[in-house]
């Protein structure tokens, strides 16, 4: 097995290289990642966790101070290929291509390095398969879409002469939304989360003991902070205290110190992952919601953007809360919140008219009735039967506007919702005077999370230490 460069003060040329997460340095066929910066040097170490090889970057060369790799050099071709995939899937010229098509395009270009048949076979065997990189490519495309949405909002803000923060903070966030969640329910929710993560012994907690520690919550990607009540409740349940430097609904610019958690070391670590999982997801929802709310504002649309009931089992309260922090509507919370009659209800009841009649018997005057419609005839029947809201399901924007106009002329008090297949790229085409609500399942399905980390503070250690990438 190759040992790599031994301990030496020899100056070695290096190359910057893009990794699956972050970047690194290619030094003598081995990959190193940045550990910290000390004076005018960048201290680096081998990206393999169990390898102790390390050194530093000085100017345009590297010096290996502790060599002797215990593993073979990685195949850099696969790493370069992944980097090209990541770049290509985010390019504007490829936005109309599927992830699979981008993969095939990049692979075809990459394979031109091979001259002979044997070289082609060998190179193809070294590259990751489509299945192995598809998930990362979808994630990258989601990140690019989120950034593009923000760019559009910022551009619109400049055109109207207004200053735009990134992302915009919804005006509704002036109120304290945490009072919406009854304390007993909040306590019950976080207890269930903690019991799921710690069903019996906490071995790591025994290792660190009960000494008092202080940990800093770092915001490591751009977004809107949300989920504060859940984060607080998790650590409160464990006897810790949280002090916030940033208020909920505010914009985060990485890397920033968001909060400080104080308590016993074992208790901080017991709550760490559960709290981070929660706040990352709720902030992700609020970020998308905030961007879309600002987009609607720039188009002077007075309707409501809403989520759906397509939420994560056991996490609905948190996801719906994130929608509110983002300034969008939660839509109905559950089956008891509003009567929504979809195609299955209508087929089983026999007709829209009969379904609405049955619903009115039990819903009474206080519960709204919404009917999902796929045609003008269905929409008119629903409104005539007494539906409060008509959902135009899977209508193209032009068809939705045309039907909404006709319905409003005949039923002025009717609320009209557009839903189905609407994305961040197309939502603005549904903004119009006759459409009251635009709902998107994307708000609680497939959203990009916001990156946070929680690090115990120690003198001389930078809590914002860079990611150590695994071997690609």
The answer for 452, left when phi > 0, alpha when psi is -120 to 50, beta otherwise, is: beta
Place of tokens 């549904």: 430
In order, the DSSP letters of 70-128 are: SSPPP-HHHHHHHHHHHHHHT-GGGTTS-HHHHHHHHHHHHGGG--SHHHHHHHHHHSP
310 given a catalytic annotation: yes
Catalytic residue among 310, 360, 368, 455: 310
Question: Phi first, then psi: what are they for 327, rounded to 5°?
Answer: 85, 15
Select from 7, 5, 45 the least CA-distant residue to 24: 45
Query: Which residues neighbour 13 within 8 Å (Cβ) at sequence distance 6 or greater?
Result: 60, 61, 62
Contact predicate 268/205, CB 8 Å? no
Kindly report each contact of residues 21-29 with a partner whose C-beta sits within 8 Å and lies 24 or more positions away, as own/partner. 21/467, 21/469, 22/466, 22/467, 22/469, 24/469, 25/57, 25/62, 26/76, 27/55, 27/62, 27/64, 28/4, 28/64, 29/4, 29/73, 29/76
What are the tokens at 100? 């699979």
The contacts of residue 264 (CB under 8 Å, 6+ apart) are: 209, 210, 211, 212, 213, 239, 240
Region for 8 from its dihedrals, namely left if φ exceeds 0, alpha if ψ lies in -120 to 50, beta otherwise: beta
Least Cα distance to 287 among 447, 394, 401, 397 occurs for: 447
Instruction: In whole angstroms, give the CA distance from residue 366 to residue 253.
Output: 44
Instruction: Tell me: cis bond preceding 83? Omega within 30 of 0 counts.
Output: no
Cα gap 264→276, rounded to integer Å? 18
Handedness of CA 316, 320, 321, 322 (dihedral sign): positive
Which residues are annotated as catalytic? 310
């Amino acid at each position: 097995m190759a040992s790599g460069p031994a301990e030496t003060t020899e100056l070695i040329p290096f190359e910057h290289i893009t990794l699956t997460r972050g970047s690194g340095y290619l030094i003598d066929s081995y990959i190193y990642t940045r550990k910290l910066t000390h004076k005018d040097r960048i201290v680096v170490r081998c990206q393999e966790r169990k390898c102790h090889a390390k050194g530093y970057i000085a100017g345009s060369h590297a010096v290996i101070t502790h060599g002797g790799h215990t593993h073979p050099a990685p195949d850099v071709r696969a790493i370069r290929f992944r980097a090209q995939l990541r770049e290509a899937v985010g390019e504007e010229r490829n936005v109309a291509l599927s992830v699979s098509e981008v993969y095939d395009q990049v692979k075809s270009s990459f394979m031109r390095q091979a001259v002979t048949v044997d070289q082609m076979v060998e190179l193809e065997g070294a590259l990751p398969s489509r299945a192995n990189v598809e998930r990362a490519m979808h994630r990258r495309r989601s990140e690019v879409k989120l950034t593009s949405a923000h760019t559009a909002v910022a551009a619109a803000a400049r055109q109207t002469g207004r200053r735009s923060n990134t992302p915009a903070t919804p005006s509704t966030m002036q109120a304290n939304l945490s009072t919406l969640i009854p304390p007993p329910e909040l306590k019950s929710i976080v207890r269930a989360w903690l019991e799921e993560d710690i069903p019996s012994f906490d071995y790591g907690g025994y290792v660190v003991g009960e000494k008092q520690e202080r940990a800093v919550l770092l915001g490591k990607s751009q977004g809107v902070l949300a989920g504060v009540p859940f984060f607080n409740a998790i650590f409160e349940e464990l006897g810790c205290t949280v002090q916030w430097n940033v208020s909920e609904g505010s914009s985060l610019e990485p890397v920033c110190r968001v909060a400080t958690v104080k308590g016993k070391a074992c208790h901080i670590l017991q709550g760490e992952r559960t709290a981070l999982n929660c706040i990352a997801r709720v902030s992700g929802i609020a970020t998308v919601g905030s961007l879309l709310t600002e987009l609607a504002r720039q188009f002077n649309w007075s309707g409501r953007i809403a989520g759906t009931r397509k939420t994560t089992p056991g996490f609905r309260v948190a996801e719906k809360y994130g929608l509110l922090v983002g300034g969008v509507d939660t839509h109905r919370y559950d089956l008891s919140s509003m009567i929504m009659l979809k195609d299955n209800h209508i087929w089983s009841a026999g007709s829209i008219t009969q379904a609405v009649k049955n619903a009115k018997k039990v819903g009474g005057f206080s519960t709204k009735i919404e009917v999902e419609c796929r045609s003008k005839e269905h929409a008119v029947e629903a409104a005539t039967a007494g539906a409060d809201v008509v959902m135009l399901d899977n209508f193209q924007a032009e068809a939705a506007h045309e039907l909404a106009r006709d319905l409003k002329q005949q039923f002025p008090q009717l609320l009209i919702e557009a839903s189905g297949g609407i994305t961040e790229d197309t939502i603005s085409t549904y903004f119009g005077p006759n459409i009251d609500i635009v709902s998107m399942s994307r708000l609680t399905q497939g959203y990009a999370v916001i990156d946070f980390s929680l690090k115990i503070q120690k003198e001389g250690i930078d809590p914002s230490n860079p990611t150590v990438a695994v071997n690609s």
